[in-house]
Amino acid sequence: MKNAQCGWINTGEESDMLKPSKVTVDYWSALQDKKLKIQICQKCHKNVFYPRPLCTGCGAMELEYEEYQGGITVISIVAPESVAQNISHLIVGELDNGVRLLAPISTNNAMCLQIGARYGLAFLEIDGQLFPTVV
Amino acid sequence: MDMYEAFEQVDIIATYQKKPVKLGNYPPTTQLEQIAVLTNSVLSEAGLPLSEIDGLVCLPINESRLFAPSTVGDYLGLRLNYADLVDVGGASALAMLWRAYLAVASGQSNLVLCVIPGGIPPVTTEEDVNLLKYGASSSKFGSPQAEFELPLGFWGQNISYAIAAQDYRQRFGYDDDAVSKLVVSHRENAQLNKDAIFYGKPLTAEDVQASRVVVDPIRKLEIVMPVAGGGAFLVGSTKRYGNQNKRQIKPVGYAECYSEKSLYHRSDMLDTPLKYAAARALDAAKFKISDINAYQLYDCYAITVLLGLEDIGLCARGEAAAFILDNDFSFVGSVPLNTGGGQLGFGQAGMAGGLVQLFEAISQLRHELDDRQIPKCDSVLVTGTGGVLSEQNAMLLVAG
Protein backbone atom coordinates (compact mmCIF):
# COMPACT_ATOMS: atom_id res chain seq x y z
CA MET A 1 0.00 0.00 0.00
CA LYS A 2 0.97 3.60 -0.38
CA ASN A 3 2.39 4.78 2.89
CA ALA A 4 4.11 8.06 2.45
CA GLN A 5 1.66 10.05 0.41
CA CYS A 6 -1.70 10.02 -1.24
CA GLY A 7 -1.42 11.17 -4.79
CA TRP A 8 -4.94 12.48 -4.98
CA ILE A 9 -4.61 14.78 -2.02
CA ASN A 10 -2.17 17.61 -2.22
CA THR A 11 -0.71 17.48 1.24
CA GLY A 12 2.95 17.05 0.45
CA GLU A 13 5.15 13.99 0.49
CA GLU A 14 5.21 13.56 4.25
CA SER A 15 1.46 13.05 4.62
CA ASP A 16 0.43 10.94 7.57
CA MET A 17 -2.73 9.84 5.79
CA LEU A 18 -3.35 6.20 5.06
CA LYS A 19 -0.28 5.31 7.08
CA PRO A 20 -1.23 2.17 9.01
CA SER A 21 -0.39 1.54 12.64
CA LYS A 22 0.56 -1.90 13.95
CA VAL A 23 -3.10 -2.50 14.76
CA THR A 24 -4.56 -1.35 11.43
CA VAL A 25 -1.95 -2.80 9.06
CA ASP A 26 -3.79 -6.12 8.79
CA TYR A 27 -6.95 -4.32 7.67
CA TRP A 28 -5.18 -2.62 4.78
CA SER A 29 -3.14 -5.60 3.69
CA ALA A 30 -6.27 -7.80 3.63
CA LEU A 31 -7.96 -5.28 1.33
CA GLN A 32 -5.08 -5.72 -1.10
CA ASP A 33 -6.09 -9.41 -1.23
CA LYS A 34 -9.71 -8.35 -1.84
CA LYS A 35 -10.77 -9.27 1.64
CA LEU A 36 -12.62 -6.94 4.01
CA LYS A 37 -11.58 -7.89 7.53
CA ILE A 38 -13.41 -6.51 10.53
CA GLN A 39 -12.35 -6.92 14.14
CA ILE A 40 -14.62 -9.05 16.30
CA CYS A 41 -14.38 -9.11 20.09
CA GLN A 42 -13.75 -12.65 21.30
CA LYS A 43 -15.42 -11.82 24.65
CA CYS A 44 -18.66 -10.04 23.70
CA HIS A 45 -18.69 -10.71 19.92
CA LYS A 46 -19.12 -7.04 19.01
CA ASN A 47 -17.91 -6.03 15.57
CA VAL A 48 -15.52 -3.09 15.96
CA PHE A 49 -14.65 -0.65 13.21
CA TYR A 50 -12.31 1.25 12.64
CA PRO A 51 -9.65 -1.14 13.96
CA ARG A 52 -8.25 -0.47 17.43
CA PRO A 53 -6.88 -2.46 20.36
CA LEU A 54 -9.93 -2.13 22.64
CA CYS A 55 -13.45 -3.47 22.23
CA THR A 56 -15.85 -0.54 22.32
CA GLY A 57 -18.55 -2.86 23.63
CA CYS A 58 -16.92 -4.40 26.67
CA GLY A 59 -13.42 -2.97 26.96
CA ALA A 60 -11.68 -6.30 26.32
CA MET A 61 -8.46 -6.48 24.32
CA GLU A 62 -9.22 -9.78 22.61
CA LEU A 63 -10.05 -8.53 19.14
CA GLU A 64 -9.50 -10.75 16.12
CA TYR A 65 -9.86 -9.86 12.46
CA GLU A 66 -12.40 -11.96 10.61
CA GLU A 67 -13.22 -11.78 6.93
CA TYR A 68 -16.56 -10.14 6.26
CA GLN A 69 -18.83 -11.87 3.82
CA GLY A 70 -22.09 -10.09 3.17
CA GLY A 71 -23.56 -7.02 1.57
CA ILE A 72 -23.45 -3.27 2.07
CA THR A 73 -26.56 -1.18 2.53
CA VAL A 74 -26.34 2.42 1.37
CA ILE A 75 -27.13 4.84 4.21
CA SER A 76 -26.00 8.13 2.65
CA ILE A 77 -24.50 9.32 -0.61
CA VAL A 78 -22.35 12.44 -0.75
CA ALA A 79 -20.19 14.09 -3.35
CA PRO A 80 -17.07 15.44 -1.66
CA GLU A 81 -15.55 18.57 -3.12
CA SER A 82 -12.18 16.90 -3.56
CA VAL A 83 -11.76 13.26 -4.49
CA ALA A 84 -9.71 10.98 -6.67
CA GLN A 85 -10.15 11.19 -10.40
CA ASN A 86 -12.03 7.92 -10.76
CA ILE A 87 -14.27 8.61 -7.76
CA SER A 88 -17.41 10.71 -7.92
CA HIS A 89 -19.13 9.96 -4.64
CA LEU A 90 -18.71 8.45 -1.21
CA ILE A 91 -21.31 6.41 0.56
CA VAL A 92 -21.86 5.65 4.20
CA GLY A 93 -22.38 1.92 3.97
CA GLU A 94 -23.75 -0.39 6.62
CA LEU A 95 -22.50 -3.96 6.71
CA ASP A 96 -24.90 -6.72 7.68
CA ASN A 97 -23.18 -6.85 11.08
CA GLY A 98 -24.06 -3.21 11.79
CA VAL A 99 -20.61 -1.77 11.09
CA ARG A 100 -20.68 1.52 9.20
CA LEU A 101 -17.89 2.62 6.94
CA LEU A 102 -17.14 5.05 4.15
CA ALA A 103 -16.84 3.56 0.70
CA PRO A 104 -15.72 5.30 -2.49
CA ILE A 105 -18.00 4.98 -5.49
CA SER A 106 -16.60 5.01 -9.00
CA THR A 107 -17.76 7.61 -11.47
CA ASN A 108 -19.64 4.99 -13.49
CA ASN A 109 -21.51 3.50 -10.57
CA ALA A 110 -22.81 6.48 -8.60
CA MET A 111 -25.99 7.32 -10.47
CA CYS A 112 -27.42 3.83 -10.04
CA LEU A 113 -27.26 3.74 -6.23
CA GLN A 114 -30.25 4.19 -3.98
CA ILE A 115 -30.31 5.05 -0.32
CA GLY A 116 -31.66 2.12 1.66
CA ALA A 117 -30.76 -0.48 -0.96
CA ARG A 118 -28.34 -3.34 -0.25
CA TYR A 119 -25.56 -4.15 -2.71
CA GLY A 120 -22.76 -6.64 -3.03
CA LEU A 121 -19.26 -6.02 -1.68
CA ALA A 122 -16.58 -5.20 -4.23
CA PHE A 123 -13.18 -3.52 -4.24
CA LEU A 124 -12.06 -0.35 -5.94
CA GLU A 125 -8.48 0.73 -6.52
CA ILE A 126 -7.40 4.27 -5.81
CA ASP A 127 -3.77 5.01 -6.45
CA GLY A 128 -2.61 1.46 -5.73
CA GLN A 129 -4.74 0.84 -2.62
CA LEU A 130 -7.94 -1.21 -2.71
CA PHE A 131 -10.98 0.07 -0.82
CA PRO A 132 -14.32 -1.63 -0.17
CA THR A 133 -17.07 -0.45 -2.49
CA VAL A 134 -20.45 -1.69 -3.71
CA VAL A 135 -21.46 -3.37 -6.92
CA MET B 1 -24.19 21.71 49.38
CA ASP B 2 -26.11 21.91 46.15
CA MET B 3 -23.81 23.14 43.42
CA TYR B 4 -26.44 25.43 42.00
CA GLU B 5 -26.98 27.08 45.40
CA ALA B 6 -23.29 27.94 45.44
CA PHE B 7 -23.84 29.89 42.24
CA GLU B 8 -25.75 32.48 44.31
CA GLN B 9 -22.29 33.98 44.92
CA VAL B 10 -21.32 34.07 41.25
CA ASP B 11 -22.28 36.27 38.32
CA ILE B 12 -21.32 37.28 34.80
CA ILE B 13 -19.35 40.47 35.45
CA ALA B 14 -18.95 41.55 31.83
CA THR B 15 -19.20 40.33 28.27
CA TYR B 16 -17.55 41.58 25.11
CA GLN B 17 -18.24 40.46 21.59
CA LYS B 18 -16.20 41.81 18.70
CA LYS B 19 -18.37 43.04 15.86
CA PRO B 20 -17.86 40.50 13.09
CA VAL B 21 -16.19 41.38 9.80
CA LYS B 22 -15.80 39.41 6.60
CA LEU B 23 -12.79 37.11 6.68
CA GLY B 24 -11.15 38.98 3.80
CA ASN B 25 -11.28 42.21 5.79
CA TYR B 26 -9.41 40.82 8.76
CA PRO B 27 -5.61 40.84 8.75
CA PRO B 28 -4.18 37.55 10.07
CA THR B 29 -3.38 38.04 13.75
CA THR B 30 -1.86 35.61 16.21
CA GLN B 31 -4.34 34.17 18.66
CA LEU B 32 -2.31 35.47 21.58
CA GLU B 33 -2.54 38.99 20.15
CA GLN B 34 -6.28 38.54 19.61
CA ILE B 35 -6.66 37.32 23.19
CA ALA B 36 -4.81 40.38 24.49
CA VAL B 37 -7.14 42.76 22.66
CA LEU B 38 -10.26 40.85 23.73
CA THR B 39 -9.05 40.89 27.34
CA ASN B 40 -8.53 44.63 27.27
CA SER B 41 -12.02 45.09 25.81
CA VAL B 42 -13.84 42.93 28.35
CA LEU B 43 -11.98 44.60 31.24
CA SER B 44 -13.10 47.96 29.88
CA GLU B 45 -16.68 46.71 29.88
CA ALA B 46 -16.24 45.63 33.50
CA GLY B 47 -14.33 48.72 34.60
CA LEU B 48 -11.83 46.47 36.34
CA PRO B 49 -8.02 46.41 36.23
CA LEU B 50 -6.09 43.52 34.68
CA SER B 51 -4.73 42.56 38.09
CA GLU B 52 -8.19 41.43 39.22
CA ILE B 53 -8.14 38.42 36.88
CA ASP B 54 -6.98 35.36 38.80
CA GLY B 55 -8.62 32.63 36.74
CA LEU B 56 -8.54 31.67 33.08
CA VAL B 57 -10.41 29.32 30.80
CA CYS B 58 -9.20 29.23 27.21
CA LEU B 59 -9.07 27.03 24.13
CA PRO B 60 -6.01 25.48 22.51
CA ILE B 61 -4.02 28.20 20.77
CA ASN B 62 -2.15 28.11 17.51
CA GLU B 63 1.06 29.50 18.90
CA SER B 64 1.63 26.78 21.48
CA ARG B 65 0.52 23.19 21.02
CA LEU B 66 0.92 22.46 24.73
CA PHE B 67 0.39 24.43 27.93
CA ALA B 68 -2.07 26.90 26.43
CA PRO B 69 -3.46 28.35 29.70
CA SER B 70 -0.07 29.13 31.18
CA THR B 71 1.11 30.54 27.85
CA VAL B 72 -1.94 32.83 27.72
CA GLY B 73 -1.56 33.75 31.39
CA ASP B 74 2.07 34.65 30.87
CA TYR B 75 1.26 36.67 27.74
CA LEU B 76 -1.33 38.69 29.67
CA GLY B 77 0.96 39.12 32.69
CA LEU B 78 -1.36 37.27 35.05
CA ARG B 79 -0.70 35.24 38.16
CA LEU B 80 -3.46 32.67 38.08
CA ASN B 81 -5.05 30.69 40.89
CA TYR B 82 -7.11 28.66 38.44
CA ALA B 83 -6.63 27.69 34.81
CA ASP B 84 -8.51 25.35 32.52
CA LEU B 85 -8.59 24.37 28.88
CA VAL B 86 -11.71 23.47 26.96
CA ASP B 87 -11.60 22.00 23.49
CA VAL B 88 -15.15 21.32 22.43
CA GLY B 89 -15.58 23.59 19.42
CA GLY B 90 -18.92 25.33 19.31
CA ALA B 91 -19.83 23.89 22.70
CA SER B 92 -16.94 25.82 24.26
CA ALA B 93 -18.84 28.93 25.35
CA LEU B 94 -21.17 27.03 27.70
CA ALA B 95 -18.45 24.62 28.79
CA MET B 96 -16.27 27.61 29.74
CA LEU B 97 -19.04 29.34 31.62
CA TRP B 98 -19.80 26.21 33.63
CA ARG B 99 -16.15 25.69 34.59
CA ALA B 100 -15.75 29.36 35.49
CA TYR B 101 -18.84 29.30 37.73
CA LEU B 102 -17.49 26.19 39.47
CA ALA B 103 -14.09 27.83 39.96
CA VAL B 104 -15.60 30.92 41.57
CA ALA B 105 -18.24 29.05 43.58
CA SER B 106 -15.60 26.75 45.03
CA GLY B 107 -13.36 29.65 46.01
CA GLN B 108 -10.56 28.83 43.60
CA SER B 109 -10.86 32.15 41.84
CA ASN B 110 -12.44 35.59 42.25
CA LEU B 111 -12.53 36.57 38.60
CA VAL B 112 -12.23 34.13 35.71
CA LEU B 113 -11.47 35.32 32.20
CA CYS B 114 -13.05 33.19 29.47
CA VAL B 115 -11.76 34.19 26.07
CA ILE B 116 -12.22 32.88 22.52
CA PRO B 117 -10.36 34.46 19.62
CA GLY B 118 -12.36 34.31 16.41
CA GLY B 119 -10.04 35.67 13.75
CA ILE B 120 -7.77 33.71 11.46
CA PRO B 121 -4.17 33.48 12.69
CA PRO B 122 -1.22 33.63 10.28
CA VAL B 123 -0.73 30.38 8.38
CA THR B 124 2.97 29.56 8.51
CA THR B 125 3.34 25.77 8.68
CA GLU B 126 1.88 22.72 6.98
CA GLU B 127 0.20 21.94 10.30
CA ASP B 128 -1.54 25.35 10.13
CA VAL B 129 -2.68 24.60 6.58
CA ASN B 130 -4.04 21.21 7.56
CA LEU B 131 -5.82 22.66 10.58
CA LEU B 132 -7.57 25.21 8.39
CA LYS B 133 -8.35 22.71 5.66
CA TYR B 134 -9.49 19.72 7.67
CA GLY B 135 -10.92 21.46 10.74
CA ALA B 136 -12.04 18.95 13.34
CA SER B 137 -10.53 16.05 11.36
CA SER B 138 -6.92 15.47 12.34
CA SER B 139 -4.50 14.69 9.52
CA LYS B 140 -1.81 13.40 11.88
CA PHE B 141 -0.50 9.84 11.95
CA GLY B 142 -2.59 7.59 14.14
CA SER B 143 -5.76 9.66 13.85
CA PRO B 144 -8.67 7.56 12.56
CA GLN B 145 -9.72 10.46 10.34
CA ALA B 146 -6.28 10.65 8.73
CA GLU B 147 -6.37 6.96 7.98
CA PHE B 148 -10.00 6.21 7.14
CA GLU B 149 -11.63 9.47 6.08
CA LEU B 150 -9.30 12.12 4.67
CA PRO B 151 -7.83 9.91 1.93
CA LEU B 152 -11.36 9.54 0.56
CA GLY B 153 -12.03 13.27 0.53
CA PHE B 154 -14.22 13.06 3.63
CA TRP B 155 -13.63 16.14 5.73
CA GLY B 156 -15.21 19.41 6.70
CA GLN B 157 -18.56 20.06 8.28
CA ASN B 158 -20.70 20.25 5.13
CA ILE B 159 -20.50 16.57 4.21
CA SER B 160 -21.23 15.29 7.67
CA TYR B 161 -24.13 17.63 8.29
CA ALA B 162 -25.45 16.63 4.87
CA ILE B 163 -25.31 13.00 5.98
CA ALA B 164 -27.40 13.87 9.02
CA ALA B 165 -29.82 15.82 6.82
CA GLN B 166 -30.09 12.92 4.36
CA ASP B 167 -30.90 10.57 7.19
CA TYR B 168 -33.53 13.01 8.42
CA ARG B 169 -34.97 13.33 4.91
CA GLN B 170 -35.08 9.58 4.48
CA ARG B 171 -36.99 9.09 7.73
CA PHE B 172 -39.14 12.20 8.10
CA GLY B 173 -38.74 14.32 4.98
CA TYR B 174 -36.65 17.46 4.65
CA ASP B 175 -39.33 20.08 4.20
CA ASP B 176 -38.09 22.93 1.99
CA ASP B 177 -40.74 25.33 3.25
CA ALA B 178 -39.92 24.68 6.90
CA VAL B 179 -36.16 24.83 6.40
CA SER B 180 -36.34 28.06 4.44
CA LYS B 181 -38.75 29.61 6.95
CA LEU B 182 -36.28 28.76 9.71
CA VAL B 183 -33.43 30.45 7.85
CA VAL B 184 -35.56 33.50 7.06
CA SER B 185 -36.61 33.78 10.72
CA HIS B 186 -32.97 33.98 11.74
CA ARG B 187 -32.30 36.62 9.10
CA GLU B 188 -35.37 38.62 10.19
CA ASN B 189 -34.18 38.55 13.79
CA ALA B 190 -30.77 39.76 12.61
CA GLN B 191 -32.43 42.89 11.21
CA LEU B 192 -32.85 43.99 14.83
CA ASN B 193 -29.17 43.40 15.68
CA LYS B 194 -26.87 46.12 14.40
CA ASP B 195 -23.79 43.99 15.07
CA ALA B 196 -24.96 41.10 12.90
CA ILE B 197 -23.07 40.55 9.66
CA PHE B 198 -26.41 40.31 7.83
CA TYR B 199 -27.93 43.41 9.43
CA GLY B 200 -29.63 45.37 6.66
CA LYS B 201 -29.69 42.33 4.40
CA PRO B 202 -33.08 40.63 4.62
CA LEU B 203 -33.81 37.37 2.87
CA THR B 204 -36.83 35.55 1.45
CA ALA B 205 -37.76 31.88 1.44
CA GLU B 206 -37.36 31.97 -2.33
CA ASP B 207 -33.76 33.19 -1.91
CA VAL B 208 -33.03 30.22 0.36
CA GLN B 209 -34.58 27.69 -1.98
CA ALA B 210 -32.82 29.19 -5.00
CA SER B 211 -29.39 29.06 -3.36
CA ARG B 212 -26.88 26.49 -4.57
CA VAL B 213 -27.02 22.94 -3.20
CA VAL B 214 -23.63 22.62 -1.51
CA VAL B 215 -24.02 18.98 -0.49
CA ASP B 216 -27.40 17.36 -1.03
CA PRO B 217 -29.76 18.40 0.56
CA ILE B 218 -28.05 21.38 2.22
CA ARG B 219 -28.21 24.71 0.41
CA LYS B 220 -25.74 27.54 0.77
CA LEU B 221 -28.08 29.81 2.73
CA GLU B 222 -28.71 27.06 5.29
CA ILE B 223 -25.06 27.30 6.34
CA VAL B 224 -23.51 29.94 8.60
CA MET B 225 -21.13 32.39 7.02
CA PRO B 226 -17.64 32.24 8.53
CA VAL B 227 -16.58 35.66 9.81
CA ALA B 228 -13.74 37.08 11.88
CA GLY B 229 -14.69 38.09 15.39
CA GLY B 230 -14.29 36.67 18.86
CA GLY B 231 -15.31 37.46 22.38
CA ALA B 232 -14.64 37.21 26.06
CA PHE B 233 -16.52 37.22 29.34
CA LEU B 234 -15.68 37.56 32.99
CA VAL B 235 -17.22 35.40 35.69
CA GLY B 236 -16.72 36.67 39.20
CA SER B 237 -17.62 36.62 42.84
CA THR B 238 -20.63 38.76 43.79
CA LYS B 239 -19.11 39.21 47.24
CA ARG B 240 -16.17 40.98 45.63
CA TYR B 241 -17.83 42.75 42.74
CA GLY B 242 -21.42 43.31 43.91
CA ASN B 243 -24.30 43.12 41.48
CA GLN B 244 -23.31 46.12 39.31
CA ASN B 245 -26.99 47.13 39.17
CA LYS B 246 -27.63 44.26 36.76
CA ARG B 247 -29.82 41.21 37.13
CA GLN B 248 -27.73 38.28 38.33
CA ILE B 249 -27.28 35.45 35.83
CA LYS B 250 -27.48 31.94 37.25
CA PRO B 251 -27.18 28.56 35.57
CA VAL B 252 -29.89 26.38 37.12
CA GLY B 253 -29.32 23.32 34.94
CA TYR B 254 -26.36 22.28 32.82
CA ALA B 255 -25.28 19.11 31.12
CA GLU B 256 -22.91 18.11 28.37
CA CYS B 257 -22.75 14.94 26.33
CA TYR B 258 -20.20 13.55 23.90
CA SER B 259 -20.72 10.86 21.32
CA GLU B 260 -19.14 9.50 18.13
CA LYS B 261 -16.80 12.06 16.57
CA SER B 262 -17.74 10.89 13.08
CA LEU B 263 -21.49 10.60 13.25
CA TYR B 264 -21.81 8.02 10.47
CA HIS B 265 -20.49 5.45 12.96
CA ARG B 266 -23.61 6.05 15.08
CA SER B 267 -26.19 3.36 14.38
CA ASP B 268 -28.90 6.02 14.74
CA MET B 269 -27.35 9.19 13.38
CA LEU B 270 -30.13 11.27 14.86
CA ASP B 271 -29.48 9.96 18.36
CA THR B 272 -27.80 13.24 19.20
CA PRO B 273 -25.84 14.02 22.36
CA LEU B 274 -28.02 17.12 22.85
CA LYS B 275 -31.06 14.97 23.47
CA TYR B 276 -29.38 13.58 26.57
CA ALA B 277 -27.73 16.83 27.65
CA ALA B 278 -30.96 18.84 27.37
CA ALA B 279 -32.96 16.26 29.32
CA ARG B 280 -30.39 16.24 32.12
CA ALA B 281 -30.15 20.04 32.19
CA LEU B 282 -33.93 20.48 32.41
CA ASP B 283 -34.14 17.76 35.04
CA ALA B 284 -31.49 19.48 37.16
CA ALA B 285 -33.33 22.79 36.79
CA LYS B 286 -36.73 21.19 37.50
CA PHE B 287 -38.08 23.11 34.52
CA LYS B 288 -40.45 21.96 31.84
CA ILE B 289 -39.45 22.95 28.34
CA SER B 290 -42.63 24.97 27.89
CA ASP B 291 -41.89 27.05 31.01
CA ILE B 292 -38.87 28.68 29.39
CA ASN B 293 -39.11 32.22 28.00
CA ALA B 294 -36.60 31.97 25.13
CA TYR B 295 -34.33 29.54 23.31
CA GLN B 296 -30.86 30.22 21.96
CA LEU B 297 -30.06 27.10 19.97
CA TYR B 298 -26.74 26.51 18.26
CA ASP B 299 -27.25 27.08 14.55
CA CYS B 300 -24.24 26.29 12.40
CA TYR B 301 -26.71 24.82 9.88
CA ALA B 302 -30.48 24.90 9.60
CA ILE B 303 -30.48 21.14 10.24
CA THR B 304 -28.74 21.75 13.59
CA VAL B 305 -31.62 23.99 14.73
CA LEU B 306 -34.21 21.63 13.32
CA LEU B 307 -32.73 18.76 15.31
CA GLY B 308 -32.19 21.06 18.29
CA LEU B 309 -35.89 21.96 18.52
CA GLU B 310 -36.61 18.24 18.75
CA ASP B 311 -33.68 17.44 21.04
CA ILE B 312 -34.72 19.93 23.70
CA GLY B 313 -38.28 18.62 23.58
CA LEU B 314 -40.20 21.48 21.99
CA CYS B 315 -41.47 18.86 19.57
CA ALA B 316 -40.93 15.16 19.00
CA ARG B 317 -38.31 13.70 16.64
CA GLY B 318 -39.52 14.12 13.08
CA GLU B 319 -41.99 16.90 13.92
CA ALA B 320 -39.80 19.97 13.61
CA ALA B 321 -41.10 20.94 10.18
CA ALA B 322 -44.68 21.22 11.41
CA PHE B 323 -43.47 23.00 14.55
CA ILE B 324 -41.51 25.52 12.48
CA LEU B 325 -44.42 26.21 10.18
CA ASP B 326 -46.77 26.65 13.16
CA ASN B 327 -44.65 29.08 15.16
CA ASP B 328 -43.23 32.60 15.10
CA PHE B 329 -39.60 32.81 16.20
CA SER B 330 -39.33 36.57 16.64
CA PHE B 331 -38.77 38.20 20.06
CA VAL B 332 -42.54 38.74 20.38
CA GLY B 333 -43.40 35.42 18.75
CA SER B 334 -44.84 32.21 20.15
CA VAL B 335 -41.32 30.72 20.50
CA PRO B 336 -38.58 33.37 20.80
CA LEU B 337 -35.64 31.61 19.11
CA ASN B 338 -32.18 32.98 18.36
CA THR B 339 -33.59 36.45 18.84
CA GLY B 340 -30.37 38.21 17.84
CA GLY B 341 -30.31 36.37 14.52
CA GLY B 342 -28.30 33.40 15.78
CA GLN B 343 -25.11 32.61 13.96
CA LEU B 344 -27.02 32.26 10.69
CA GLY B 345 -27.71 35.98 10.97
CA PHE B 346 -24.71 37.16 13.00
CA GLY B 347 -21.96 35.14 11.31
CA GLN B 348 -19.79 32.43 12.84
CA ALA B 349 -16.44 33.53 14.17
CA GLY B 350 -14.91 30.07 14.37
CA MET B 351 -14.80 28.63 17.86
CA ALA B 352 -16.35 31.84 19.21
CA GLY B 353 -19.63 31.02 17.48
CA GLY B 354 -21.30 29.73 20.63
CA LEU B 355 -20.88 33.14 22.26
CA VAL B 356 -23.62 34.47 19.97
CA GLN B 357 -26.18 32.27 21.71
CA LEU B 358 -24.77 32.80 25.21
CA PHE B 359 -24.47 36.59 25.00
CA GLU B 360 -27.93 37.01 23.52
CA ALA B 361 -29.31 34.99 26.44
CA ILE B 362 -27.50 37.17 28.97
CA SER B 363 -28.66 40.40 27.30
CA GLN B 364 -32.26 39.20 27.16
CA LEU B 365 -32.20 38.12 30.81
CA ARG B 366 -30.79 41.49 31.86
CA HIS B 367 -33.36 43.33 29.74
CA GLU B 368 -30.58 45.28 28.04
CA LEU B 369 -31.90 45.16 24.50
CA ASP B 370 -33.85 48.03 23.00
CA ASP B 371 -35.20 46.84 19.68
CA ARG B 372 -35.67 43.16 20.38
CA GLN B 373 -36.18 42.82 24.11
CA ILE B 374 -38.50 39.97 25.07
CA PRO B 375 -40.97 41.75 27.38
CA LYS B 376 -40.73 39.23 30.18
CA CYS B 377 -37.57 37.20 30.02
CA ASP B 378 -36.53 35.37 33.16
CA SER B 379 -35.26 32.07 31.74
CA VAL B 380 -33.39 31.13 28.58
CA LEU B 381 -32.23 27.73 27.37
CA VAL B 382 -28.89 27.87 25.52
CA THR B 383 -27.28 25.04 23.59
CA GLY B 384 -23.85 24.43 22.11
CA THR B 385 -22.63 22.08 19.41
CA GLY B 386 -19.09 21.13 18.57
CA GLY B 387 -17.78 19.09 15.67
CA VAL B 388 -20.62 17.39 13.86
CA LEU B 389 -23.31 16.80 16.48
CA SER B 390 -20.56 15.10 18.45
CA GLU B 391 -20.11 17.35 21.47
CA GLN B 392 -23.19 19.13 22.69
CA ASN B 393 -24.35 20.90 25.80
CA ALA B 394 -27.38 22.66 27.20
CA MET B 395 -27.69 25.26 29.93
CA LEU B 396 -30.76 26.84 31.45
CA LEU B 397 -29.96 30.36 32.62
CA VAL B 398 -32.24 32.41 34.85
CA ALA B 399 -32.06 35.98 36.05
CA GLY B 400 -32.96 37.22 39.48
Q: Give the pLDDT confidence of A59-111 residue by residue, as tens digits.
A: 999 999 999 999 999 999 998 866 677 888 999 999 999 999 999 998 877 77
Instruction: Say what the pLDDT of residue B134 is.
Output: 87
Tell me if B122 sits within 8 A of B30, measured CB to CB: yes
Instruction: Say what the pLDDT of residue A85 is.
Output: 76
* Inter-axis angle of helices B68-76 and B31-46, nearest 10: 60
Residues of A in contact with B269 (CB under 8 A): 75
> How many Cα atoms within 13 Å fall on the side-chain side of residue A84?
23
Q: Tell me if B215 and A79 make a contact (CB, 8 A cut-off).
A: yes
Q: Tell me if B153 and A21 make a contact (CB, 8 A cut-off).
A: no
In total, the C-beta contacts within 8 angstroms joining chain A to chain B are 94
Cα separation, A74 vs A111, whole angstroms: 13
Which parts of chain B sit beneath pLDDT 70?
1
The beta-carbon neighbor of A102 closest among B146, B154, B269 is B154
The one-letter amino acid at B125: T
Sign of the CA dihedral with B200 first, then B206, B210, and B215 last:
positive
Q: List residues in chain B touching A: CB distance below 8 A.
A: 126, 130, 139-144, 146-156, 159, 162-163, 166-167, 170, 215-216, 264-267, 269
Mutate to test the interface with A, among B129, B141, B149, B152 (most CBs of A within 10 A): B152
Burial B270-283 (b: 16+ CB within 10 A, else e): bebbbbbbbbbbbe
Instruction: Say what the pLDDT of residue A83 is.
Output: 63
> How many Cα atoms within 13 Å fall on the side-chain side of residue B92?
27
C-alpha distances out from residue B42 to B28, B71, B249, Å: 21, 19, 17
Residue A7 predicted with pLDDT over 80? no
Q: Is A95 on the interface with B (CB under 8 A)?
A: no
Cα separation, B232 vs B37, whole angstroms: 10
- pTM equals 0.95
Residue A4 predicted with pLDDT over 60? no
